[in-house]
Chains A and B, each alone.
Chain A
Amino acid sequence: MKRARLVMVGNGMAGVRTLEELLKLAPDLYDITVFGAEPHGNYNRILLSPVLAGEMTLPEIMLNDFDWYRDNGITLHAGKKVVEIDRARRRVVASDGTEAEYDRLLLATGSNPFILPIPGNDLPGVLAYRDIADTQAMVDAAAHYRRAVVIGGGLLGLEAANGLKLRGMDVTVVHAVDWLMERQLDRNAADMLKASLEAKGLKFLMPRLTAELVRGESGRVCAVKFKDGDEIPADLVVMAVGIRPNTALAEAAGLYCNRGVVVNDTMQTYDPRIYAVGECVAHRGVAYGLVAPLFEQAKVAANHLANFGIGRYTGSVVSTKLKVTGIDVFSAGDFMGGAGTEEIVLHDRTGGVYKKLVLKDEKIVGAVLYGDTVDSSWYFQLMRDGKEVGEIRDHLMFGESHLGNAGHQGQNKAAAMPDEAEVCGCNGVCKGTIVKAIKEKGLFTLDEVRRHTKASGSCGSCTGLVEQIIASTIGGAYQPQDVKKKPLCGCTDHTHEEVRKAIRENRLLSIPEVMRFLEWRTPDGCASCRPALNYYLICAWPKEYQDDPQSRFINERAHANIQKDGTYSVVPRIYGGVTTPAQLKRIAEVAEKYHIPTVKITGGQRIDLLGVKKEDLPKVWADLDMPSGFAYGKSIRTVKTCVGSEWCRFGVQDSTNMGIELERALDRMWAPHKVKLAVSGCPRNCAEATIKDVGVVGVDSGWEIYVAGNGGIKAEVAQFLVKVKTREEVMEYTCAFLQLYREEARYLDRTVHWVERVGLDYVKKRIVDDDAGRRALYERLLYALQDERDPWAERVRGLAAAEFQPIKFYDKDSLSGDGNNERMAESVHA
């Protein structure tokens, strides 16, 4: 069968990303032809600044070299500029006469630098800053000339100026208004930026309007003349005063353009055969100049070109960063504020830190950060989600991660860190390694950096730092991921919430059913989505859903915790941490009988037997004759207690028995993530209840309940939920809270993450204010847990026996083993 023909005009980042997305979805749908005006493959335009600064070379910034086009069967006409689109005959014509016919056309013509309409703007030595040729010309000029003038104090101009300065030129930046980056920064931040750049040796003339570029004797530019009559010498002039969507070709073909090629939400132009993406596009009246929105457009366009027809681009909220080494700047939204808005400001001129948040109706609508941008993603997310910040405004300015983060020495300023400083303490990744990977591998997103370097991929506490490093390396191309719309995993575009809703509303009762119904892209999901789906089904259909062990992580499948050497650890249930001499003797005997190398008391007041062989597990469990402590699961772990009023001279409540009751009630509860509780018998709080998912603190007149604390990666103090009088109330409120968490949190959210997202007010409304609702939640949890069987006892009786039995095969002469789960393997000669 003859394939449809897809022609792409423009060979830049947005266009090629569209092709990459398309090839992922429908590799064989089209014969693809690409025209590019530049004689190169697709390169990372964002990294032209480091090339100019001499920090990288051209080959290093290639994203798709000629081999890529060849390997994917794409015909590339590099260096051929398309001069005509003949829509009637459906073909494009290049300047050298090359023609290509299309069934679908993709316009990705990008933008052109705006050239000031002043005399001398075409002199030799006058450049724009847009592509490899411009960059090369600047590098050459820096080798032969001394004085450079950059016109334009915006993002691009400052990066050009910085690069030329690093190349040894004497650089003056001329700007039309009296503060730098006025589209992104307020006066204070701009002044600090200017001071930093001056310290780096740049000179500024502002506000100055350029009148003329003066021709020297050699024919080359020799000076810049201003409207006020002043003049400064210049051997090189770089114009960086803005870009304009390149619509000439589309307009000549009669396509509707209005400050860009106008497209709808599917990236289709007014000619249904023609799509457009990138900087040439006007979508809902907006032309984007940053890479992240363009990649979103690419994804949508690819989806429609692949005839899937389900994606929509609905616009992007953008933010800006400057990528000049050693300077951290971030800006987003309405950063100037004005009528109806209020500002929260922190200004430390000596310390080089400035932060301004603009709020309207208790929501962040804009932000400028200078010097300390570690929380930029957090603010950006709050802004994009339109989240009410009233609850947290007293500490909003101090950021998300100012307290309790472990693993990177409390660092929060990526720019100030040396290359050899460790960023990710879990995986031992240094700043320099991350920067190198971003540059050499052309990475744009946090996920990509995690995949390639592992930084922030384990506990995640250094995520803010890694995001800062990406931002300062690739600048505005980096957009923090929109967590709200984040798909469950790469197998689907649906969010966690959408998946749970579909399961409930359509009575989906198995993982394959969910995948079919929601059109999963992979045959049987992946290691991320399958455990999530298994949990969502358990939670939605207690008693009905048939648990899928193959979709569980090994610890939950084997009901023990895998260790680095492939052995397992065993933690029996000891309710409330209260044990007996008989129990201790039994544990000791089991440890001796099975030569268990390590016996340890855990942080949650339990006993851990470490180094058990998998095939011994059922025997160990049988001999222990104790229930599973679930120390391996996304489940209830432990209820830690202090001795309380039974013994303690300060105790005012019987915390030990309250804890035991809670642990018995919650036993065998699966949850989105692990759940830890503690009960203290007086406000001295020896059980450390205020860093638990639910912490109960006895006071003379009753009990205080705290929720959403965390003592792990990021220490997080639990928040006060309610004070109650009786033990029954403690039980009901605790269970109701945990059931709400089970029903509404995303898989792998701890309670702290979930409460942070939905807000404590919402939780109070459901648990404290709504008596009937609370009781219903409590009942649902009791129903889900009633008759749940102890997984160890079941396996002692022979359930899932194959899971624990290896197939033993030894050379016939040395056949050995205890004969218990032995199998005589036959050997057959083929």
Chain B
Amino acid sequence: MSEWLKVCTLEEIPRLGARVVQTGKGDIAVFRNAGDEVFALKDKCPHKGGPLSQGIVYDRRVACPLHGWSVHLDSGEAVAPDKGCTHRHQVKVEDSVVYLQV
């Protein structure tokens, strides 16, 4: 599917933070890191389904608020030695507007 959804402006996502996008297919977490890179993951930790959007963002990772697993924002993979993967969504920023593929 190549439908891009216009979600919000870059400024509406806190730097080193995230916003939750509620869709008919479940919540998606859209993250912004210190370098203004934007990532989108299904808002469920591969461990016990914790909301990753609520975690602390650092570098290109987020630490899940429930049990402290860390997840790579760019791949959705859990940081070793933990194992697991959460679904990744395509996301892009054009003219400071964030677009997402659901």
Contact = CB atoms under 8 A, between A and B. Distances in A.
A, B assembled together:
yes
Interface of A: 441, 451-452, 458, 522-527, 530-531, 549-555, 558, 562, 564, 566, 802-803, 806-811, 814, 823, 825-830
Nearest to B81: A452
B58 A530 contact: yes
Given A522-B58, A828-B5, A828-B6, 15 more contacts: A527-B63, A549-B17, A550-B15, A554-B55, A562-B65, A564-B48, A802-B12, A802-B14, A807-B20, A807-B30, A809-B22, A810-B22, A827-B4, A828-B4, A829-B4
Given A525-B58, A554-B54, A802-B14, A809 B3 contact: no
B81 A451 contact: yes
A527 B54 contact: no
A79 to B, nearest CB: 31
A550 B24 CA distance: 28
Nearest to A551: B56
Contacts of A810: 22-24
A828 B3 CA distance: 6
Contact of B59 (A524, A807, A823): A524
B85 interface: no
Contact-residue size bin, chain B (C-beta under 8 Å from the other chain):
35 or more
Contact of A825 (B5, B33, B66): B5
B6 A826 contact: yes
B91 to A, nearest CB: 12
B22 A807 contact: yes
A525 B59 CA distance: 8
Nearest to A823: B8
12 contacts: A458-B67, A526-B56, A531-B56, A549-B14, A550-B14, A550-B17, A566-B54, A802-B19, A807-B8, A825-B5, A825-B6, A829-B2
Interface in B1-57: 2-8, 12, 14-17, 19-24, 27, 30, 33-35, 48, 50-51, 54-57
A823 B50 CA distance: 25
B24 A527 contact: no
Nearest to B8: A807
A562 B14 CA distance: 20
A549 B66 CA distance: 18
A32 B24 CA distance: 54
B70 interface: yes
B84 interface: no
Q: A-B pairs with the 5 shortest C-beta distances? A: A527-B63, A527-B56, A554-B54, A550-B16, A806-B20
A823 B4 CA distance: 16
Nearest to A568: B54
Interface of B: 2-8, 12, 14-17, 19-24, 27, 30, 33-35, 48, 50-51, 54-59, 61, 63, 65-68, 70, 81, 99, 102
A809 B7 contact: yes
B54 A562 contact: yes
Contact of B21 (A550, A564, A807): A807
Given A530-B58, A562-B54, A806 B21 contact: yes
A451 B70 CA distance: 11
Contacts of A525: 58
Nearest to A454: B67
Contacts of A451: 81
A829 B6 CA distance: 10
Given A522-B58, A525-B58, A829 B16 contact: no
A55 B65 CA distance: 39
Given A527-B68, A550-B15, A550-B56, A830 B22 contact: no
B19 A806 contact: yes
A527 B70 contact: yes
Contact of B58 (A524, A553, A562, A825): A524
Contact of A809 (B12, B23, B35, B55): B23
A562 to B, nearest CB: 5
Contacts of A555: 65
Contacts of B54: 554, 558, 562, 566
Contacts of A562: 51, 54, 65-66
Nearest to B20: A806
B56 A808 contact: no
Contacts of A802: 12, 14, 19
A523 B34 contact: yes
Contacts of A523: 34-35, 59
Contacts of A522: 58-59
B19 A566 contact: no
A798 to B, nearest CB: 15
Contact of B6 (A452, A566, A803, A827): A827
Contacts of B50: 564, 566
Contacts of B102: 809
A830 B101 CA distance: 10
Nearest to B21: A807
Nearest to A512: B34
A523 B34 CA distance: 8
A667 B68 CA distance: 29
A827 B96 CA distance: 16
Nearest to A562: B65
A526 B34 contact: no
A808 B5 contact: no
B38 to A, nearest CB: 13
A456 B63 CA distance: 19
